[in-house]
Structure 1
Amino acid sequence: MDENFYKNIVNLSPVGYALHRIVLNDAGEPVDYVYLEANRAFESFTGLDVDKIRGKSVTEILPEIIYDEYNWIAEYGKVAIEGKEIEFEQYSQPLHKWYRVKALSPGIGLFITYFTDITEEMKNLEQKTTILSVLNEIVFEIDEDLVFINVISDENKLFYPKDKILGSRISDVLSGKTGEKFIELLKRAKQSKSKVNLSYLSPIEGDERWFRAEAKYIEFRNINKYVVGIQDITNQKRAEDDLKSIRDEYRKVFHGTQDSMFLIEVKKDDSFRYMRNNLAHRKNTGISLQELRGKTPKELLGEEAAIIVEGNYRRCIKEKTTIVYEETLKLKTGTRVWNTSLTPVFQEGKISYIVGSSHDITEKKQRQLEIEYLSYRDQLTGLYNRRFFEEELKRLDTPRNLPLSIAMVDVNGLKLANDAFGHESGDEMLIKIAEVMKRLCRADDIISRIGGDEFIVLLPKTDASETKKIAERISEGVKNETTAAIPLSVSCGFSVKVSADKDISAVIKKAEERMYVEKLRESPKLKLKTIQIIMRELHRSINGERDHSQNVGDICERLAIEIGFNKQDARYMRYAGYMHDIGKVGIDSKIFEKEGKLTEEEWLAIKRHSETGYRIMSSVNQYASMADYILSHHEKWDGSGYPAGMKNDSIPIESRIISIADAYHAMTQNRSYRNAMTSEEALEEIQNCKGSHFDPYIADVFIEMIKENPA
């Protein structure tokens, strides 16, 4: 293809492009640069005409650039002279815009810039930092000792100087009944676990303003606190008081407020008709007084909206007091969100009218959604958190996203780094690994940190082959990173949901199992440590399993000695007996607690534990031979056992020892489905099953051993 083809591609690119030549002084220092070429996006982002600036220097086109706080010429000079490649975000004072820039050198003395205009993006970022102060006029954060720990507000809106509020108790700042009401408000917030509010008169003498305090008790990790938002509701309160007369004072408030106000007549048949609306209501809703007057909610708003608003009107009548709520209505001016208060007006003891006051909070709700978005992020790594993952999993678990892959990523050695080098080292590991994952995963992949050292990746419309490549890229990419503490390493495991009827939790569980198996391959020390962790989890999750493991180990060692094993081999049998059920770690503990008959699926899950135990133990060199013993400890002498149906002497003798030890101890313990046997009853059962279930010789030795010394 000719040169024009590529030139057209560059010219049509949505990313700004410009080629420059650096200008040096006699000392070889960069003092200027010349525009050689640029594309259309460059013109759009800068407002500069390429044809007019081509061949001219930047100081000629933008002379004020030499006064810019950022030394553009010097930075670009490094690129052109040293061949460096840089990326940055910077505000251009001459052009009054923010840019995201990548600069590189195609040859000595030349540099290319690729950039985009991020002015709006930076404005939005600045806006988000002020969200909390916009949502409420005053925001207090109060600890559980009722001490003010943070204040968000302009100084002129506070009752007292901010420095006197911080560190003070509520009772020191708000004395008397106001302080008591505030303390009671916080108690209600903590008890209800939801937002509660309080309306109160300003505690400052002579100040007649009314305020509403909205409190929420927040529990987050180890930090518990109250967040209290304060809003000035003086106008609303005055409206409630003044509207009782519905005369001259009412008219002033009605038309003077910026809130959208309307008056509803309550008919004797409990129907409603609108009587009037104020100027703000007409402007904000597009409904004139002529359109509104005499209309029912259904005639004015339509049947669907009428059902909603009439429900609130009836609630106001039932509660006989002012009610406040949020509602979303589709009007001429569009779909808007309103904070509405309804106040009943009594005449001769009956409610004859309802006065409504609505404030448009659409933009505020949008900002709240932005805050909620931030709540979905992991604070340390910037990745999504468990809450977001769980919600995205529900959203993505649909047939159209199949195959849906899930990759589990576990950080190796995180606890070691924390213990040895402090949590800052562990945090550094997590941050670097998160950066690698963000760099190597695709744009549509959902990466979340769901635990201290655990990450999970959702990969919609991704098969096993592609998922494997991504997992391998992550593992290799992490290995290429370094920290001040220890080399970085992760263990990855994935599973794929290929059919709609497969339970996604089973897919996650399988990915987690594979991740753990992968973790066992990382290093001998790490594997040994992981074995210990798995055994602890096994003992924690299954009642009585710790005692069972220890007793089976003890019996195996005794029996091995009786059969003729040397002390070292007998000791090894003790370890094998202790860990014979390690494969149960992946089985739902509820199966072992079930009193009734197991389903076929539950029984198959239990039967797989010897194979699972084999896979876990065989990944550790020190336990490779022990893995065979664990694999075959449910084989039977007559070949009716599992998983391979081995028989007679083809079953390792160590497995035959474990088999009898396991059966004896299990029979003499209470189970959810039966009571414990006596030792004599268990020995009789072994006697009856020798030659079918158990090796006859080992069974005879065992029975004699227990009879002589049961302990």
Structure 2
Amino acid sequence: MLKHDKLCQNIVKYSERWYNLDKIDIIRYLLGVSIIVKDYRDLEYSKFERLQQKYVKELFNILPDGVVLVDENNIVIDANPKFLEMFKYEKGELIGQPLDMMISNDINFDEADSLTSMVKNNQLVKRDSKRCTKFKELLDVFITAMPLTLDNQVVGGIGIYKDITAKERADFLANRDPLTGIYNRRYAEKEINRLEKEDKYPISFILGDINDLKLVNDTLGIEEGNRVLKRTVEIMDDVLAKKGIISRWSGDEFLIILEDIDEYYAQNIMKQLREAFKKGKYNDEYPLNLAFGYATVTGNNRSIRESLSEADTRMNRQKLLESHQFKGASMEFLKRIMPEKGAETLEHTDRMKEICRLFGQALDLSESVMDELLLLASLHDIGKISVSEKILIKKGSLTEEEWEEIKKHPEAGYRMVKSSQELSTISEGVLYHHERYDGKGYPSGIKGKEIPLLARVIAIVDAFEVMTRGRPYKGPVSKEEALDELMRCAGTQFDPELVKLFINEINQHN
């Protein structure tokens, strides 16, 4: 009686300390009891024996891994709910059936049979393997199999099956960039830490940075930006051909880790990448521009982290040296997509630039300021890309809601050009080109000379060009009528001094 009382106390103790104990010890203990239950199931149990069986069964049922009990012939005696869930069987389908036949297939049956033989020979087995469900779906499992002995004889066995499919999937996702599928920074940092400990050289690093990704995001949307990232990874994969580890280091930066690659080969790989990206496009029109930097660690008193810093420095230096090339590409890209989006026509842009050039000469603008004015003429309405095409091409008056959406385009355009280093000089002109001289404009309501000069110039040129060109909801007017309207609005909508100069210049050049 005291023996059974002690046993019950131990079961309760194990149940309370489950997460602090080794599962193998618990299962050994539980199945020692289960054998007693099996061999003497028809006997009359005492009060303590029934209590003992109750606790064993409850623990068996709540174990987080699949557990199956077999006899000496590997015939299933019992299986817990987790095992049934994993392998998608009803208990009645399993009991009395050979375990290996139920959860193995032709490919892994011999391996499963070998494991069973080891258990019969009183061996404890631990291994990763694959088993299949009732519906022949393969599961990655970690198997712990152990013999059950009675009087020093193996009378059965127990198998504990941990589903590692989900774990591996979780580990995969934890180390991968969800958008591109390549490794993320977390994994790259782990690899760097490993390389620092292993002290094996040479190791080369290549850093790549996508130029103007934010510009694409702001003008065409996040989806287009995502396509840029995916296309970037495709090109890198083609060039590297599994030679190194590609990781997404930050939003628009990639780190390539090249083990056992010296400086000569690292430079060659970087050259191949540059050539590939010159040819590569993400939408058959807009070229992909990346700046690259590299560094190689040979173990000569320079750490991996110092080399990474050097690669970053070289990459940023290249960005600066080639910025003029990116400026041209960005401008052409933006000018091309504006008519595609219904924002403006190429004819409107060309006429704006022609008029601005005349006006700028009359204002005696410097060459650099003239360049900014012509750029502003091309991109002042870039923010309209964010406006619905239905509104932009609507024939008829706009509703109040539609007008409010239109009024958001200067701020949208400001964000777009501000995100690009080479376009940021025209950001204020884009933001303020719909302000009025009397302070009743938008988006900020500034007035007079508070409005930047180029914004005041563009406001006049744009109004003249629109009036003489016409709108979707209104036909064009003559040059004289347009100039009269400018004069009428001088001092309220437009800078009066600039209006007079503009009228004079237009009349001179017809």
Q: TM-score under structure 2 normalisation?
A: 0.47
Which protein has the bigger helix share? Answer: 2
Q: Which has the higher contact order (CA 8 A, sep 6+)?
A: 2
Q: TM-score under structure 1 normalisation?
A: 0.35
